[in-house]
Amino acid sequence: MEKIKILILEDSLEEANILQEALKDSYTIVGVATSYNEAVAFYHIHKPDLAILDIFIEGEREGTRFATYINENSPIPILFLTSARDKITFSAAKIENPYSYLLKPVDPFEIKFTIELAFEKFANEVGQLSTKEEASIKINEELLIKKKDCLFKIAKKDVYYVVADDKYCRVHTKDMQFLIQKTLKSFLEDFADSFIRTHRKYLVNKHEIERINIADYNIVLKNGVSVPLSQRHKKDVLKEFNILK
């Protein structure tokens, strides 16, 4: 469970400071770049989850240029910073789609929502996070989770098991659990390669299985938690682990 990593491209120190001030509590700022080259370097070193870009750096459209660079490598959500809601600026920024924008000077409360929106747009699931109290979306190989107005991400490998709970799913990591508004089936569809169904209500990370007790119909995970194994799913599970038979 990690905070969201953000890369900022902004040539005005004052603006950058304000941004940092507004974001530092809820997010990890991996770097504030003041030029295109610097931004590219930070991008490769820190592998940020989101980029906040000022469209104009030293009067040039370096923001949009960097956005093009991101989209050509491994794309991440992009948030444009702009000082005006005028047409010219946006038609220039619009080449990177989907996009979100933030009007300068930034409102510390507004920025949180705009970041959520940028993720939603990136995943093509507008409203999935922002219209709900608790929710999650899949971004690349990670799970983006919203819990009480906070966003954080979990890498696929950190999830031990998932339990279905009515319309929701309860996701268990090594030391935490949280509810997401997602069915077990859609969860499995998203992460089919590393998870296996052991029970009508359980989904288990294959790599976290410590021991399978065939007689007791349960599975002991690496953190000591045991989850049930049903008669129906026993065959599929054993097929995955035929060496341990």
Partner 1 sequence: MVLKAKSVFLFLFIYHLSFCQTTYIESVIANECIVCTNEKKVKVSQNLWHQAHLAFEKKKYEKTIELLLKDVESNVCLKKLLKGNVFFRLKLYDKSLMLFKDEVLLNHRKYHLAALKGISEYYLVKNKDSAVIYYNRILNEKNLPVRLRNEVYEGIAYVNVTEEKFDEAHFFYEKLLSFYKKEQDFLSLGRTYTNLGNSYFEQYKDNKAKKYLDSAYVVSKVTNNQKLRSRIAYNLYLVSEALKEHKEAVQYLKEYNILQDSIQTEKTIWKIAEQKEAFNLEKKQVEIDQKTKQRNVFVVFSLVILLLLLAIFWFYKKLQLKHQQIGILNEELKETNALKNQIFSIVAHDLRSPVALLKQKFQLQTVNEEDETITIDKNVVSIIDSLSFLLDNLLSWSLSQSNLLHVEKDWFPLLPVVKQIEHQYKSLLADKEIVFKIENLYSVLLFGDMELFKIVVRNCLDNAIKFTPKGGEITISGVAESEFFKLIIQDSGTGIPEDVLKTLFELNAKKAQKDTQGRKSSGLGLHLVKSMIELNNGTIQIQNNPRGGTNVNISVPYKNIA
> What's phi and psi for 100, nearest 5 deg?
-130, 160
**Nearer CB in complex with partner 1: 41/84:** 84
**CA separation, residue 60 to residues 56, 64, 101, 119, 133 (Å):** 5, 9, 18, 26, 40
> What's phi and psi for 153, nearest 5 deg?
-125, 155
CB of 131 to partner 1, least distance (A): 4
User: Would you count residue 108 as binding partner 1 (CB under 8 A)?
Assistant: yes
User: Would you count residue 75 as binding partner 1 (CB under 8 A)?
Assistant: no
**Distance from C-alpha of 210 to C-alpha of 57, rounded to nearest angstrom:** 53
- Which residue, chain included where needed, has tokens 């974001």? 23
User: Would you count residue 113 as binding partner 1 (CB under 8 A)?
Assistant: yes
Number of residues interacting with partner 1: please give it, by CB under 8 A.
29
- The single residue among 110, 141, 165, 210 that binds partner 1, judged by CB under 8 A, is 110
CA 135 to mean position of chain CA atoms: 11
User: Would you count residue 109 as binding partner 1 (CB under 8 A)?
Assistant: yes
**Distance from C-alpha of 217 to C-alpha of 81, rounded to nearest angstrom:** 55
Question: Among 36-44, 119-127, 152-160, 203-211, which window interacts with partner 1 (CB under 8 A)?
Answer: 119-127
Binding mask 125-164 for partner 1 (x = CB under 8 A): xxxx-xxxx-------------------------------
**DSSP H or E segment with residue 211:** strand 209-213
User: Would you count residue 117 as binding partner 1 (CB under 8 A)?
Assistant: yes
**Distance from C-alpha of 161 to C-alpha of 190, rounded to nearest angstrom:** 14
User: Would you count residue 45 as binding partner 1 (CB under 8 A)?
Assistant: no
**Nearer CB in complex with partner 1: 116/142:** 116
- The single residue among 1, 3, 12, 18 that binds partner 1, judged by CB under 8 A, is 18
**CA separation, residue 220 to residues 2, 104, 148, 157, 211 (Å):** 26, 52, 31, 17, 5
Please say whether the beta carbons of 212 and 237 come within 8 A. yes
**Nearer CB in complex with partner 1: 112/199:** 112
Question: Among 52-60, 68-76, 113-121, 194-202, which window interacts with partner 1 (CB under 8 A)?
Answer: 113-121
User: Would you count residue 104 as binding partner 1 (CB under 8 A)?
Assistant: yes
The site for partner 1 (CB under 8 A) is made up of: 18, 21-22, 83-87, 90, 104-110, 113, 116-117, 120, 125-128, 130-133, 181
